């Protein structure tokens, strides 16, 4: 086993090489190894300068996140950084790949920093609900200025080497052999007797007396609900006001506060959940999969067009089929407009847009799909139409082609059953807009082969999605839980709440917007159509709760018609509509419900705990294999606030006993047919456990 940190000498240069795959995370052994290497270099009279460099695909990518939550072990990273900076001999950091978090704090404590032009450097701790905890908030402002440091630290977005050099973070950008370049640089430092520059002794520049307040105000919306970004601002401000040692104390205080916070625990959970979710329990990571070299997409509408873009963006050729040329023309025009908008924003080059467009071939002929390795149908949400389409696909597509439906709730097993290849049929449920939303629910049918859904998981990742494997039921995971929230909010309107109160509470909880503003934006007619399709399966109370029907019957479909639950001005700004309030009050009278005050807490419990209870049932039925699958669905498909970790992680934070007691309360007040407690929730609550506690 190669040494995790090796010390070698090249002439008069001591080379400290880190080799801790996969990303050279700063585990205890790495921290101790770096410190030991610096000690050796200092002690060795033949060594005049030192280089810190890494093997593998990247320079250090940060502290070892797996160590968080465990008792910290010495040497602590801030102390290692200080030890490097105090070295009497110059230390040069040689960076490649992505030097992130502690992986940039180590170079900042070095006396010089060089990087390959392809490297990136960043301080992404804020994405974990933290702040750089080893001097990053104190040293970065001293080399790059307070404003650049604020932007980097509160966004967590890495910067490319060229930009980092302009900012003063890097001394030199190099090409080719990094180690050779580092040795040349080190020798130059020695030969030219370049003075040792300790960043902590520099002064952080502030380009405006109101920089920090202005920055907080300008980013208030973006940082809404999060603790860490505001704490980052506080720490950077300290770098401009306090001597370095006091600033470091301030940073340490804040780091510990954030580290112990529920928000950071949630965001660290999300970091690992997003990576774990693509692994299928019980299936080895290297389970055989089918190669997807070409794809067919049926339906050139909003969803089909977005799906086609996903594959073209990943360089996979797509045949886009529809029934009429005019549908294809319209679909391609929308795709072109989407790409053109991105080019106009400067985040896509024209030649890349042209290349991607060239990969999307429109066609009217099923015959053209005969060689496709995967075909995804995104036609009208009607079982008869789906069956007709799959019958044709089954006849045309080659053996081994995977046939997937983008249906958002129809029974995938019923679709598979009309083909001769049910083992190759599954659901691939994209979320609108498909070329933007990262969630992909891969629905495995009763007969779907593991090789088939393993392929869907792999290709989902390849096209930049966060794929979650789910089972067949009405609404799979996301929409099944959403239906409970929608029902409870509809009931609360009858009982005393108003749309704008519910929207405020759900928005303040952390969602991008509340259910009624969301409905107005998506178009109320979609929900209305779904309600009519399912009307016979609704309970009598749900059938009589016809507020949505009444609003749609007035032609009020939401933003696109200028009014829905809200009124909209020409800029689509929403205003509560007294007419809707009157309609709701009259409706309560019609259904004989005496209106009462509904508290914000009740709205949270009935909107969110109803989903948690349903999530527990989804786990019992093995529609989702793990609570993290449910969390990921809600984080990436519905905007569940990341600092709460997803509905199941949030439930653990609240405490399952509290959730369970609330479920019993609403079972008695709203009705057992809506609030039957999940046996799993009951069991865990009574055992004092959580969904995640072992």
Residues assigned a catalytic role? 105, 125
Secondary structure of residue 441 in the 3-state scheme: strand
* Using rule CB under 6 A, residue 534 touches ligand T1G: no
Work out how close the CB of 132 gets to ligand T1G at its nearest, in angstroms, rounded to a whole number.
Answer: 4
Closest CA to 23 of 68, 67, 57, 66: 57
**Complex with ligand T1G: residue 23 or 84, whichever CB lies closer:** 23
Work out how close the CB of 275 gets to ligand T1G at its nearest, in angstroms, rounded to a whole number.
Answer: 4
**Complex with ligand T1G: residue 66 or 224, whichever CB lies closer:** 66
* Using rule CB under 6 A, residue 101 touches ligand T1G: yes
**Complex with ligand T1G: residue 132 or 422, whichever CB lies closer:** 132
190, two tokens: 């020695």
Selected binder of ligand T1G within 110, 128, 140, 376 (CB under 6 A):
128
* CB neighbourhood size of 248 (10 A): 24
Region of 94-102, 232-240, 514-522, 652-660 interacting with ligand T1G (CB under 6 A):
94-102
**Complex with ligand T1G: residue 275 or 572, whichever CB lies closer:** 275
H or E stretch at 363: strand 360-363
In which region does residue 617 sit, left (phi positive, over 0), alpha (psi from -120 to 50) or beta (all else)?
alpha
Region of 101-109, 474-482, 490-498, 621-629 interacting with ligand T1G (CB under 6 A):
101-109
Region of 129-137, 616-624, 666-674, 680-688 interacting with ligand T1G (CB under 6 A):
129-137
Q: Say what angle helices 302-313 and 325-344 make with each other, to 10 degrees.
A: 50
**Complex with ligand T1G: residue 136 or 247, whichever CB lies closer:** 136
**Complex with ligand T1G: residue 143 or 397, whichever CB lies closer:** 143
390, two tokens: 């799959």
Selected binder of ligand T1G within 90, 107, 129, 132 (CB under 6 A):
132
Task: Report phi then psi at 257, rounded to 5.
Answer: -60, -45
E strands in 462-573: 466-470, 566-568
Selected binder of ligand T1G within 20, 98, 138, 154 (CB under 6 A):
98
User: Which residues are within 8 A (CB) of 218 and not within 5 positions of it... i.e. 6 or more apart?
Assistant: none
**Whether 358 contacts 316, CB under 8 Å:** no
663, two tokens: 């479920």
Closest CA to 204 of 155, 271, 153: 153
Q: Say what angle helices 478-495 and 610-620 make with each other, to 10 degrees.
A: 150
**Complex with ligand T1G: residue 308 or 466, whichever CB lies closer:** 466
Closest CA to 503 of 517, 484, 522, 519: 517
Selected binder of ligand T1G within 4, 18, 47, 63 (CB under 6 A):
63
Closest CA to 48 of 86, 5, 94, 9: 9
Positive or negative, the CA dihedral 610, 415, 306, 449 is: positive
80, two tokens: 């290692």
Selected binder of ligand T1G within 5, 18, 89, 105 (CB under 6 A):
105
Work out how close the CB of 130 gets to ligand T1G at its nearest, in angstroms, rounded to a whole number.
Answer: 5
Region of 100-108, 224-232, 307-315, 451-459 interacting with ligand T1G (CB under 6 A):
100-108
If binding means CB under 6 A, how many residues of this protein chain bind ligand T1G? 24
Region of 20-28, 85-93, 230-238, 481-489 interacting with ligand T1G (CB under 6 A):
20-28
* Using rule CB under 6 A, residue 134 touches ligand T1G: yes
Selected binder of ligand T1G within 22, 243, 281, 578 (CB under 6 A):
22
* Using rule CB under 6 A, residue 280 touches ligand T1G: no
**Complex with ligand T1G: residue 140 or 300, whichever CB lies closer:** 140
Residue the block writes with tokens 């202005």: 214
* Using rule CB under 6 A, residue 30 touches ligand T1G: no
Work out how close the CB of 66 gets to ligand T1G at its nearest, in angstroms, rounded to a whole number.
Answer: 5
**Complex with ligand T1G: residue 68 or 507, whichever CB lies closer:** 68
Region of 133-141, 185-193, 378-386, 683-691 interacting with ligand T1G (CB under 6 A):
133-141
Judged by CB under 6 A, the chain residues 384 through 423 that form the site for ligand T1G are none
**Complex with ligand T1G: residue 105 or 488, whichever CB lies closer:** 105
User: Is residue 168 exposed (0-12), middle (13-18) or buried (19+ Cβ within 10 Å)?
Assistant: middle
* Using rule CB under 6 A, residue 102 touches ligand T1G: yes
Region of 98-106, 414-422, 477-485, 511-519 interacting with ligand T1G (CB under 6 A):
98-106
Work out how close the CB of 139 gets to ligand T1G at its nearest, in angstroms, rounded to a whole number.
Answer: 11
Rg (CA), the chain: 28
**Complex with ligand T1G: residue 167 or 235, whichever CB lies closer:** 235
Work out how close the CB of 439 gets to ligand T1G at its nearest, in angstroms, rounded to a whole number.
Answer: 18
672, two tokens: 């057992």
Work out how close the CB of 94 gets to ligand T1G at its nearest, in angstroms, rounded to a whole number.
Answer: 18
* Using rule CB under 6 A, residue 632 touches ligand T1G: no
Secondary structure of residue 10 in the 3-state scheme: strand
* Using rule CB under 6 A, residue 81 touches ligand T1G: no
Selected binder of ligand T1G within 249, 275, 529, 686 (CB under 6 A):
275
Instruction: Give the 3-state secondary structure of 101-147.
Output: CHHHHHHHHCCEEEEECCCEEECHHHHHCCCCCCCHHHHHHHHHCHH
Region of 63-71, 161-169, 359-367, 419-427 interacting with ligand T1G (CB under 6 A):
63-71
DSSP per-residue codes, 429-472? EE-SSTTT--EEEEEE-TT--HHHHHHHHHHHHHTT-EEEEE--
- Expressed in angstroms, the distance from the first to the final Cα of the chain is 33
* Using rule CB under 6 A, residue 61 touches ligand T1G: yes
* CB neighbourhood size of 88 (10 A): 6
DSSP β-bridge partners for residue 621: none
Selected binder of ligand T1G within 77, 359, 611, 648 (CB under 6 A):
77
* Using rule CB under 6 A, residue 64 touches ligand T1G: yes
Selected binder of ligand T1G within 4, 18, 80, 100 (CB under 6 A):
100
Work out how close the CB of 60 gets to ligand T1G at its nearest, in angstroms, rounded to a whole number.
Answer: 8
Positive or negative, the CA dihedral 594, 597, 602, 606 is: positive
What x-and-dash track marks residues 106-125 binding ligand T1G by CB under 6 A? ------------------xx
CA distances from residue 598 to 462, 493, 505, 579 in whole angstroms, order as listed: 46, 9, 11, 20
Secondary structure of residue 297 in the 3-state scheme: strand
Helices (H) and strands (E) in the chain, counts: 31, 19
Distance CA 533, CA 119 (A): 54
Distance CA 527, CA 556 (A): 13
Work out how close the CB of 678 gets to ligand T1G at its nearest, in angstroms, rounded to a whole number.
Answer: 30
* Using rule CB under 6 A, residue 270 touches ligand T1G: no
Distance CA 289, CA 311 (A): 18
Q: Which residues bind ligand T1G (CB under 6 A)?
A: 22-23, 25, 61-66, 77, 98, 100-102, 105, 124-125, 128, 130, 132-134, 136, 275
């Amino acid at each position: 086993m190669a040494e995790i940190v090796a010390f070698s000498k090249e002439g008069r240069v001591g080379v400290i090489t880190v080799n801790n795959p996969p990303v050279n995370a700063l585990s205890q052994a790495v921290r101790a190894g770096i410190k030991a290497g610096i000690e050796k270099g200092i002690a060795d009279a033949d060594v005049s300068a030192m280089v810190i460099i890494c093997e593998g695909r990247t320079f250090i990518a940060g502290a070892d996140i797996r160590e968080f939550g465990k008792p910290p072990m010495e040497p602590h990273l801030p102390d290692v950084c200080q030890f490097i900076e105090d070295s009497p001999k110059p230390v040069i950091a040689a960076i490649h790949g992505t030097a992130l978090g502690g992986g940039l704090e180590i170079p900042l404590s070095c006396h010089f920093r060089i990087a390959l032009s392809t490297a990136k450097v960043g301080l992404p701790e804020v994405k974990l609900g933290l702040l750089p905890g080893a001097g990053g908030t104190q040293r970065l402002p001293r080399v790059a200025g307070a404003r650049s440091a604020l932007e980097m630290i509160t966004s967590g977005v890495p910067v490319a080497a060229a930009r980092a050099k302009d900012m003063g973070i890097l001394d030199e950008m190099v090409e080719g052999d990094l180690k050779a370049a580092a040795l040349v640089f080190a020798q130059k430092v020695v030969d030219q007797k370049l003075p040792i520059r300790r960043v902590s002794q520099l002064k952080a520049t502030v380009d405006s007396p109101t920089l920090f307040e202005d920055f907080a105000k300008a980013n208030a919306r973006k940082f809404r609900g999060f603790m860490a970004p505001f704490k980052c601002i506080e720490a950077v401000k300290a770098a401009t006001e306090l001597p370095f040692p006091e600033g470091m104390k301030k940073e340490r205080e804040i780091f510990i506060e954030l580290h112990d916070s529920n928000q950071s625990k949630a965001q660290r959970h999300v970091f690992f959940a997003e990576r774990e979710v693509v692994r299928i329990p019980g299936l080895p990571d290297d389970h055989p999969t089918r190669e997807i070299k070409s794809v067919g997409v049926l339906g050139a509408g909003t969803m089909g067009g977005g799906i086609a873009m996903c594959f073209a963006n990943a360089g996979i050729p797509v045949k886009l089929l529809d029934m009429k040329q005019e549908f294809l023309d319209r679909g391609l025009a929308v795709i072109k407009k989407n790409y053109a908008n991105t080019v106009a924003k400067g985040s896509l080059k024209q030649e890349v847009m042209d290349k991607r467009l060239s990969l999307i071939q429109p066609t009217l002929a099923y015959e053209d799909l005969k060689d496709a390795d995967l075909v995804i149908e995104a036609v009208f949400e009607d079982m008869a139409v789906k069956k007709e389409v799959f019958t044709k696909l089954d006849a045309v597509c080659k053996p081994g082609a995977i046939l997937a439906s983008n249906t958002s709730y129809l029974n995938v097993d019923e679709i598979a059953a009309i083909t001769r290849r049910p083992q190759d049929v599954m659901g691939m449920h994209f979320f609108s807009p498909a070329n933007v939303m990262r969630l992909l629910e891969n629905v495995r049918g009763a007969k779907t082969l593991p090789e088939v859904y393993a392929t869907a998981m792999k290709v989902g990742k390849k096209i930049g999605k966060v794929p979650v494997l789910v089972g067949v039921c009405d609404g799979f995971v996301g929409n099944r839980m959403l239906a409970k929230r929608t029902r409870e909010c509809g009931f609360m309107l009858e009982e005393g709440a108003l749309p704008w109160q519910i929207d405020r509470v759900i928005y303040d909880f952390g969602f991008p917007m509340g259910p009624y503003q969301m409905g107005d934006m998506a178009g109320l007619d979609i929900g209305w159509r779904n309600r009519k399709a399912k009307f016979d399966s609704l309970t009598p109370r749900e059938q009589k709760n016809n507020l949505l029907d009444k609003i749609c019957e007035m032609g009020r479909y939401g933003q696109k018609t200028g009014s829905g639950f809200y009124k909209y001005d020409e800029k689509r700004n929403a205003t509560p509509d007294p007419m809707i309030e009157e309609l709701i009050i009259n409706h309560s009278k019609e259904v004989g419900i005496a209106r009462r005050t509904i508290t914000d807490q009740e709205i949270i419990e009935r909107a969110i705990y109803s989903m948690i209870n349903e999530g527990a049932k989804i786990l019992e039925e093995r529609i989702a294999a793990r609570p993290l699958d449910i969390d990921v669905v809600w984080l990436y498909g519905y905007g569940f606030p990341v600092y709460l970790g997803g509905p199941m992680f949030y439930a653990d934070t609240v405490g399952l006993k509290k959730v369970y007691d609330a479920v019993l309360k609403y079972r008695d007040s709203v009705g057992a047919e809506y609030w039957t407690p999940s046996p799993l929730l009951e069991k865990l609550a009574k055992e004092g456990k959580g969904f995640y506690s072992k």
